[in-house]
Copies of this chain bind each other. A is one copy, B any other.
Amino acid sequence: MSDPKRVVLAYSGGLDTSVIAKWLEVERGLEVVTFTADLGQGEEIEPAREKARAMGIPDEHIYIEDLREEFVRDYVFPMMRANARYEGDYLLGTSIARPLISKRLVEIAAETGAGAIAHGATGKGNDQVRFELSAYALNPDIKVIAPWREWDLTSRTALIAWAETHQIQVPKDKRGESPFSTDANLLHTSSEGKVLEDPWEETPDYVYSRTVNPEDAPDEPEYITISFQRGDATAINGEAMSPATLLAALNDYGRKHGIGRLDLVENRFVGMKSRGMYETPGGEIYARAHRGIEQLTLDRGAGHLKDELMPKYAEMIYNGFWFSPEREMLQAAIDHSQASVTGDVRMKLYKGSADVVGRRADVDYNLYSEDVVTFEDDAGAYDQKDAAGFIALNALRLKLLAKRVRPKP
């Protein structure tokens, strides 16, 4: 039996979720369990322990975990197998992290006997949807508390006043309005709101935190080789790495060369357009390299089917349906195709660009045949006369169409 008075909170240790923790206790009379995860956001997570203790939370109810390997291995890499980009560009860096956080929230709720979970996402964004759909898909009886939809602390001033009234320390730099809001994990950093809300204005350089300005990047290109096995990257320049280590290494390359900045106006699931600025340095390199190795190892039928399914798959992740039958069905199809995606890709990194300049398949998985494609003598690998029949039968229906009167549409 779960305890309706206990709640697991996704807790960053920052001001907002500290206020939420206290609010849940004071206003809702709940006992709070905190969950702080390292998903590679680049901030220490240990300080969250002291802050939680300071709010009187007992040690056994303070969960602090390093989820970086699980995040990359079980969420980022499967998504990358699909070449997923939302609305043509966005590599889904925030979207893909939410299901994992929800999964741990639900699991910790089970461990601690909590009947509810809580998160700090607002009522206008996609994250509330992602957190909650994931949670409900994993535990239909869980209760989800979203204070931003419920309380009246709707201005910064009110929030800070409430914090001070309740003995929550407010860091100096949080006293004023932040000029934009961010989310970060090992895959990306996103920024949105306030100074970014006019989509005609170029994003100021101070918004970027994960990449150098391409103009300040090295004047010499750098080449790296990424190795893939069965659709996932396993090594850089011949050095085998775990998933999270590899993505972190790509982030370093990307940061240095100013790769992966994206200024996007996107359509939120909740119905509005918003403007976001994304930095996905390693992810951008990874995504392009993955397409590069697929070029040699993936059959046309498989590749075109993947391309057709991709927008739908990306939308599912964006909208929060990671834990849904339809996402799992598409994943099964995609994963089936990746068994042969093994080989190396050479990437050129230069001032904001990550370009495939060479790729070679593992010998067992190669589908590219110089013998067949060559302009030179192909020793009978391909009979050019076959093309005549191929064209004739592809043309047959078009000829029959052309023979009849062409109706005016």
A70 at the interface (CB under 8 A from B): no
Within 8 A of B (CB), among A85-108: 87-89
CA distance A44 to B177 in the complex (A): 62
A249 at the interface (CB under 8 A from B): no
Q: Is the CB of B397 within 8 A of A300?
A: yes
Give min CB distance, A300 to chain B, whole Å.
4
Q: A residues bordering B, Cβ < 8 Å?
A: 83, 87-89, 122-124, 128-129, 132-133, 136-140, 146, 148-149, 154-155, 181, 193-194, 197-203, 214-215, 219, 221, 230, 261, 263-267, 270-275, 291, 295-296, 298-308, 310-312, 315, 320-321, 323-326, 328-330, 332-337, 339-340, 342, 346, 348, 350-353, 355-360, 364-370, 372-377, 382-405, 407-409
Q: Is the CB of A295 within 8 A of B273?
A: yes
- For A308, the chain B residues whose CB sits under 8 A away are 308, 311-312
Q: Is the CB of B409 within 8 A of A356?
A: no
Q: Is the CB of B394 within 8 A of A271?
A: yes
Q: Is the CB of A137 within 8 A of B401?
A: yes
- For A302, the chain B residues whose CB sits under 8 A away are 325-326, 329
Task: Find the B residue at minimum CB distance from A350.
Answer: B214
Residue in contact with A356 in the complex, picked from B263, B352, B404, CB distance below 8 Å:
B263
Q: Is the CB of B329 within 8 A of A333?
A: yes
- For A202, the chain B residues whose CB sits under 8 A away are 346, 348, 357-358
Residue in contact with A299 in the complex, picked from B201, B265, B325, B394, CB distance below 8 Å:
B325
CA distance A299 to B324 in the complex (A): 9
Q: Is the CB of A295 within 8 A of B264?
A: yes
Give min CB distance, A375 to chain B, whole Å.
4
Task: Pick the 6 closest A-B CB pairs, nearest first.
Answer: A389-B389, A123-B384, A271-B396, A267-B300, A140-B399, A386-B389
Interface of A is mostly: mixed
Residue in contact with A333 in the complex, picked from B330, B374, B390, B407, CB distance below 8 Å:
B330
User: Can you identify 13 A-B contacts, CB atoms within 8 angstroms?
Assistant: A122-B384, A136-B399, A146-B388, A198-B370, A199-B295, A267-B304, A271-B395, A271-B400, A305-B329, A332-B332, A332-B336, A336-B409, A389-B390
Give min CB distance, A141 to chain B, whole Å.
8
CA distance A195 to B139 in the complex (A): 32
- For A133, the chain B residues whose CB sits under 8 A away are 391, 394-395, 398
- For A340, the chain B residues whose CB sits under 8 A away are 404, 407
Residue in contact with A124 in the complex, picked from B323, B365, B384, B391, CB distance below 8 Å:
B384
Task: Find the B residue at minimum CB distance from A342.
Answer: B407
Q: Is the CB of A351 within 8 A of B124?
A: no
Give min CB distance, A333 to chain B, whole Å.
4
CA distance A141 to B104 in the complex (A): 42
Task: Find the B residue at minimum CB distance from A302.
Answer: B325
CA distance A257 to B406 in the complex (A): 39
Q: Is the CB of B137 within 8 A of A398?
A: yes
Task: Find the B residue at minimum CB distance from A382.
Answer: B124
CB-CB under 8 A for A405 and B364, given A267-B397, A303-B267, A392-B386: yes
- For A263, the chain B residues whose CB sits under 8 A away are 355-357
Q: Is the CB of B199 within 8 A of A353?
A: no
Task: Find the B residue at minimum CB distance from A223.
Answer: B202
- For A321, the chain B residues whose CB sits under 8 A away are 301, 398
- For A89, the chain B residues whose CB sits under 8 A away are 291
Q: Is the CB of B203 within 8 A of A357?
A: yes
CB-CB under 8 A for A369 and B140, given A336-B329, A359-B199, A393-B387: no
CA distance A356 to B199 in the complex (A): 10
Q: Is the CB of B387 within 8 A of A197?
A: no
CA distance A267 to B384 in the complex (A): 17
Q: Is the CB of B123 within 8 A of A359?
A: no
- For A154, the chain B residues whose CB sits under 8 A away are 377
Known contacts A136-B398, A352-B355, A388-B389; 15 additional CB pairs below 8 A are A122-B375, A124-B384, A140-B400, A140-B402, A154-B377, A181-B375, A197-B374, A199-B358, A265-B296, A271-B300, A273-B373, A275-B373, A328-B336, A382-B396, A390-B392
